[in-house]
């Protein structure tokens, strides 16, 4: 960001401009004014990626172990399959079984996955407190910042940190309970710590120190939405908006220190409130890149929440969201397996691609053009290759046995494309005669 403000073009800006089919000066100006970020640590070599105003909507996939299910190889496989099917970034949200397990998962992903990697460092702080001090909320300020620096030294590119949770908001929730309370894990850890110690959130009170770390290691701050609604009945409530107002102040402080920053948003939001939420955030935070979980527009679909999320993602993207966090079919039910990670990524990728076509036309639609040419020519092999999931497309097309080269089992000889093309060919041949 400092380079951009000084008018200098970096190689990362050039790569992003090329990938986005934009002039590099557009990227430089966007970074300088804080409306574009390139989350890239100075400790690790990754493929530069731009997120923000005027850029294609990106998607993130979350992976990570839990205290109940921890398999280092499987989490690495999840990260790899997420990238294979279109995730632009990966976040490691591991919480167990041991702190050493969490370190190993993160280090393997940082070594073997070349997209930007994010974490929520308070998870490791809480695990360390549990192991060494007997309870999740027995961490102190040093524990929080030591883990941030430890992970920054390893090369983590962006951190979700819940800086906007204040003692005032937590006390408000005591007097005005929500339907679903606080559903953000990091947000809950901090809220519980504030209640226990009756002091301010260290990430908020020591925000300048956090900015110093970000500057030193060049990681991007993703200001977490600890008060995101976990129910459509908590959407756009006092706690959510108060946190956002606090975050808007912290965005300005980060930009003044030349620290790249983006803002996280909800969460569970009914469809008619999605656009309003995006516009409120963009207005308050001076068009900072906005990162949304879903949003999920209904609460009734466990097992299908990747679809719910994709619906909300299209609405959010069209309203101005820059970055979509996927949701898997196992959301609210269990830790996702490999297949569920794949389905979550594909659903989110479809949503982002649909937004990009609507907003940017030719910059995004070349893939669809290739597919449509293949369909027009009834070129099944090319259709399969151009599909977002070629393996599934091939399986479905051939599940009724070998097909005629021209048609599928849906229409067979009644294929609309084939009938018209045959008629046109017949007409043309008569003219030649």
pLDDT attached to residue 404? 60
Does residue 428 surpass a pLDDT of 90? Answer: no
Answer whether 0.75 is exceeded by the pTM. Answer: yes
- Band of pLDDT at residue 412, cut at 50, 70 and 90: confident
Per the prediction, the chain carries an average pLDDT of 95
pLDDT attached to residue 430? 78
**Contact indicator for 40, 48 with CB cutoff of 8 Å:** yes
In 182-326, DSSP assigns E strands to 220-223, 261-265, 290-293, 323-325
Query: For the segment 144-195, what is each residue's pLDDT rounded down to a tens digit?
Result: 999 999 999 999 999 999 999 999 999 999 999 999 999 999 999 999 999 9
Helix (H, G, I), strand (E, B) or coil at 156: coil
> Dihedral (C-alpha) 124, 128, 133, 138: value to the nearest 10 degrees?
-10
pLDDT attached to residue 229? 97
pLDDT attached to residue 433? 60
Does residue 3 surpass a pLDDT of 90? Answer: yes
Mean pLDDT of 378-403: 90
CA-closest candidate to residue 93, choices 59, 114, 70: 70
**Contact indicator for 29, 20 with CB cutoff of 8 Å:** no
Does residue 249 surpass a pLDDT of 70? Answer: yes
pLDDT attached to residue 96? 87
Does residue 388 surpass a pLDDT of 90? Answer: yes
**Contact indicator for 260, 35 with CB cutoff of 8 Å:** no
Between 312 and 398, where is the model more confident? 312
Q: Which letter, b or e, does each residue of 402-433 get, where b requires 16 or more Cβ atoms within 10 Å of its Cβ?
A: eeeebbbeeeeeebeebeeeeeeeeeeeeeee
- Band of pLDDT at residue 15, cut at 50, 70 and 90: very high
Mean pLDDT of 37-65: 97
State how beta strands 323-325 and 89-92 pair.
unpaired
pLDDT attached to residue 401? 74
Mean pLDDT of 84-90: 98
- Band of pLDDT at residue 29, cut at 50, 70 and 90: very high
Does residue 210 surpass a pLDDT of 80? Answer: yes
pLDDT attached to residue 403? 59
**CA–CA distance, 80 with 59 (Å, rounded to integer):** 15
Q: Would you state the structure tokens that stand for residue 92, as one six-digit string?
A: 């490691």
Using only C-alpha atoms, the chain has a radius of gyration, in whole angstroms, of: 24
**CA–CA distance, 363 with 367 (Å, rounded to integer):** 10
What structural domains does the chain harbor?
34-360 (3.20.20.540), 364-432 (no CATH)
Mean pLDDT of 413-421: 84
Does residue 344 surpass a pLDDT of 90? Answer: yes
Query: For the segment 106-127, what is each residue's pLDDT rounded down to a tens digit?
Result: 999 999 999 999 999 999 999 9
pLDDT attached to residue 408? 80
**CA–CA distance, 83 with 72 (Å, rounded to integer):** 17
Does residue 357 surpass a pLDDT of 70? Answer: yes
Query: For the segment 270-304, what is each residue's pLDDT rounded down to a tens digit?
Result: 999 999 999 999 999 999 999 999 999 999 999 99
Does residue 425 surpass a pLDDT of 90? Answer: no
CA-closest candidate to residue 89, choices 296, 348, 337: 348
- Band of pLDDT at residue 226, cut at 50, 70 and 90: very high
pLDDT attached to residue 405? 67
């Amino acid at each position: 960001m400092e380079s951009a403000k000084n008018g200098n073009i970096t190689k990362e800006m050039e790569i992003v401009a090329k990938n986005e089919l934009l002039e590099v000066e557009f990227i430089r100006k966007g970074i300088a004014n804080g409306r574009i970020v390139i989350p890239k640590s100075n400790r690790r070599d990754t493929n530069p990626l731009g997120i923000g105003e005027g850029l294609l909507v990106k998607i993130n996939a979350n992976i990570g172990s839990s205290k109940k299910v921890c398999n280092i190889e499987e989490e690495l496989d999840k990260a790899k399959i997420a990238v294979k099917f279109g995730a632009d970034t990966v976040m490691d949200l591991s919480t167990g079984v041991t702190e050493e397990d969490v370190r190993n998962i993160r280090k393997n992903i940082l070594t073997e996955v070349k997209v930007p990697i994010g974490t929520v460092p308070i998870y490791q702080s809480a695990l360390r407190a549990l192991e060494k001090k007997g309870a999740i909320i027995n961490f102190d300020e040093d524990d929080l910042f030591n883990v941030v620096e430890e992970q920054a030294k390893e090369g983590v590119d962006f951190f979700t940190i819940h800086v906007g949770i204040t003692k005032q908001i937590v006390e408000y929730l005591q007097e005005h309970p929500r339907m679903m309370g606080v559903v953000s894990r990091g947000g809950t850890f901090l809220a519980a710590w504030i209640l226990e110690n009756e002091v301010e959130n260290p990430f908020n009170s020591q925000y300048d120190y956090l900015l110093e770390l970000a500057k030193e290691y060049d990681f991007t701050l993703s200001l977490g939405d600890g008060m995101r609604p976990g129910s459509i009945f908590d959407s756009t409530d006092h706690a959510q908006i108060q946190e956002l107002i606090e975050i808007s102040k912290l965005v300005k402080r980060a930009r003044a220190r030349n620290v790249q920053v983006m803002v996280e948003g909800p969460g569970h939001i009914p469809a008619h409130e999605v656009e309003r939420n995006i516009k409120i955030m963009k207005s308050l935070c001076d068009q900072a890149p906005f990162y949304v979980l879903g949003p999920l527009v209904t609460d009734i679909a466990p097992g299908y929440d990747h679809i719910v999320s994709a619906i909300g993602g299209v609405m959010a993207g069209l309203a101005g969201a820059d970055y979509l966090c996927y949701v898997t079919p196992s959301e609210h039910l269990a830790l996702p397996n490999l297949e569920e990670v794949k389905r979550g990524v594909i659903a989110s990728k479809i949503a982002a691609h649909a937004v990009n076509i609507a907003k940017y036309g030719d910059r995004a639609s070349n893939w669809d053009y290739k597919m449509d040419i293949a369909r027009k020519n009834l070129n099944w092999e090319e259709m399969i290759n151009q599909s977002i999931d070629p393996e599934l497309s091939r399986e479905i097309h051939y599940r009724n046995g070998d097909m005629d080269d021209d048609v599928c089992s849906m229409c067979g000889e009644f294929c609309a494309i084939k009938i018209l093309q045959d008629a046109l060919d017949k007409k043309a041949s008569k003219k030649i005669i």
